Amino acid sequence: MCGILAVLGCSDDSQAKRSRVLELSRRLKHRGPDWSGIYQHGDFYLSHQRLAIIDPASERLPNHKFRTGSDCDVIAHLYEEYGENFIDMLDGVFSFVLLDTRDNSFIVARDAIGITSLYIGWGLDGSVWISSELKGLHDDCEHFESFPPGHLYTSKTGALRRWYNPSWFSESIPSTPYDPLVLRHALENAVIKRLMTDVPFGVLLSGGLDSSLVASITARHLEGTKAAKQWGSQLHSFCVGLEGSPDLKAAKEVADYLGTVHHEFHFTVQDGIDAIDDVIYHIETYDVTTIRASTPMFLMSRKIKSLGVKMVISGEGADEIFGGYLYFHKAPNKEEFHQETCRKIKALHQYDCLRANKATSAWGLEARVPFLDKEFINVAMSIDPEWKMIMPEQGRIEKWILRRAFDDGERPYLPKHILYRQKEQFSDGVGYSWIDGLKAHAESHVTDRMMQNAEHIFPHNTPTTKEAYYYRMIFERFFPQNSARLTVPGGPSVACSTAKAIEWDQGWSNNLDPSGRAALGVHNSAYDRHAVSSKNIPVKVAADMPRIIGVAAPELSIQT
């Protein structure tokens, strides 16, 4: 994921202003260490820090004449052909600013789910600022906020409008029957699309269902492809954890089964604590669960990049789409189950997408997430949610329809005990002592008196635990502006939809920890882990879905 910074219509075309834009752009250099540049047209500035994944030999920002092999180039062409209505034609991940020098108009857009990060700000001089991260604009803007995913901003109206309007967005209850093969082919297509690369790549493998399926599909497809010829036929997989952690053990088992070249990265609790300041600076949030999960990913990304790998495929998004979080066990009916999955997907850009994007981009590594492919989401969110409901008495555990779709007895994607393995929270999976160590560290740095005065010090999103208070202090040191604190969603309960969980079961009201650890006795005890089955499943042969080829456009700055 590249880094972009645009200053548009600032009424200052001086060399001093150009130097300031370049200075701010360098704050994003970690996102794009391969090339940097700036385009100036009067008082419009477009600066770019490039991470070269496609056509790494090309450098400059693309133009309509298709001067490079970069996938970014197609955006200028589509704009000239179709105007701003071309956005929905893009099938990929992107954040971009496009300046039309014919009339000095510009458009800004962000991908459907918000997999890339993007912010918009306004200056006192009437300028509009766009940046991949807060640190690019927070010092120079009067006000700034997160650019909403699936939206377009055009200078001609000075307003945002939603361009992404799938049928599921209204949260109406879908009725399409579950077809395991259709779901399987949709995910396979989503993974294959993300194997377009001209640089070394690998998969993040925790040993859980989502990352294991992505790794299995990737390994199957890799042989004989262009990427295999360039980088070798064996897939590289990566996992991080404390010594002896559940993830390390599970990932090794999956890696051995798939035959990947597996890399284990170990860290200690102290390593993680020492990195917290850097993590918060890069992730740009004070949300507790996000910081807990981002820290191991941040440390692992550095190791991965040191091996010469520039792109990884990851499993984010499946829990939101299929109701994989523990409190979904208590969903009272399919209507509420579906509506909660919709809300979770809509909030992904504030949590897991933000973590995956920024924790990897901190080291110039790109993470691709096939579960959040537009076409896959359309297929998965069109299924009657009755099939997603967790019914232990029928052997249906969380994400059962995804597991069943890949339960192939003739050519197994994964062993059954892995395919039906129960979910671990990411921050627990890297080692159970990780969260306990964070809490202990915060306890030693935040006093009871500090907590008593928390509502006066932090009246917005007041921290309710010492761990939350500790992270908030660090965040405010880096980003003291009111606009910055407003970019973080409210309260620790929001992170795991605890409000909905409490509505479904009052047992959650006594659980202040946002990860929901040990809540409701769901983990390991809500059902017999060995009772899962594939009986009574209507399976029909479905025709292969055609491979969908689209634009996998990374972040870019562009002029026509």
Q: Is the pLDDT confidence value at 1 over 80?
A: no
In a domain, 356, yes or no: yes
- Known binding residues for ATP: 204, 240, 314-315
CATH code for the domain in which residue 504 is found: 3.40.50.620
pLDDT given at position 52: 82
H/E stretch holding 214: helix 209-222
Q: Is the pLDDT confidence value at 374 over 80?
A: yes
Q: pLDDT per residue over 39-53, tens digit each?
A: 999 999 999 998 887
pLDDT given at position 59: 57
pLDDT given at position 291: 97
- Known binding residues: 71, 204, 240, 314-315
pLDDT given at position 494: 52
Same domain? For 329 and 440 the reply is: yes
Q: Is the pLDDT confidence value at 533 over 60?
A: no
CATH code for the domain in which residue 83 is found: 3.60.20.10
In a domain, 318, yes or no: yes
Same domain? For 103 and 173 the reply is: no
Same domain? For 145 and 226 the reply is: no
- Decide if 141 is catalytic: no
Q: pLDDT per residue over 72-82, tens digit each?
A: 678 888 999 99
In a domain, 535, yes or no: no
Q: pLDDT per residue over 165-210, tens digit each?
A: 999 999 999 999 999 999 999 999 999 999 988 889 999 999 999 9
- Known binding residues for L-glutamine: 71
Q: Is the pLDDT confidence value at 327 over 60?
A: yes
Same domain? For 157 and 174 the reply is: no
Same domain? For 65 and 201 the reply is: no
Same domain? For 91 and 208 the reply is: no
Q: pLDDT per residue over 3-35, tens digit each?
A: 999 999 999 999 999 999 999 999 999 999 989
Count of domains observed in the chain: 2
Cβ 69 vs Cβ 55: under 8 Å:
yes
Question: What is the rounded average pLDDT of the residues 155-162?
Answer: 96
Same domain? For 173 and 161 the reply is: no
Same domain? For 149 and 297 the reply is: no
In a domain, 539, yes or no: no
Q: Is the pLDDT confidence value at 463 over 50?
A: yes
In a domain, 374, yes or no: yes
In a domain, 530, yes or no: no
Q: Is the pLDDT confidence value at 152 over 90?
A: yes
Instruction: Name the token pair of 156.
Output: 């001609």
Amino acid at 300: M
Same domain? For 118 and 223 the reply is: no
Task: Name the CA dihedral angle for 131, 133, 137, 142, rounded to a multiple of 10 degrees.
Answer: 100
Q: Is the pLDDT confidence value at 528 over 60?
A: no
Same domain? For 106 and 236 the reply is: no
pLDDT given at position 521: 54
CA angle 230, 3, 265 (to 5 degrees): 55
Same domain? For 118 and 232 the reply is: no
CA 287, CA 372: separation in Å to the nearest integer? 22
Proportion of the chain above pLDDT 90, given as a percent: 73
Question: What is the rounded average pLDDT of the residues 490-497?
Answer: 53
Alpha helices (H) in 57-208, listed in sequence order: 73-82, 180-193
Domain that holds residue 112: 3-165+551-559
pLDDT given at position 506: 78
pLDDT given at position 53: 75
Length of the chain: 560
In a domain, 543, yes or no: no
Of 122-131, 137-146, 223-232, 396-405, the least confident:
223-232
User: What mean pLDDT, rounded, does the chain reach?
Assistant: 87
Same domain? For 189 and 244 the reply is: yes
pLDDT given at position 51: 87
pLDDT given at position 515: 60
Q: Is the pLDDT confidence value at 311 over 60?
A: yes
Instruction: Name the token pair of 405.
Output: 């779709």
Beta strand 35-41 with 3-8: parallel, antiparallel or unpaired? unpaired
Which among 2, 72, 353, 496 is annotated as catalytic? 2
Q: pLDDT per residue over 239-255, tens digit each?
A: 999 999 989 999 999 99
In a domain, 460, yes or no: yes
Cβ 106 vs Cβ 155: under 8 Å:
yes
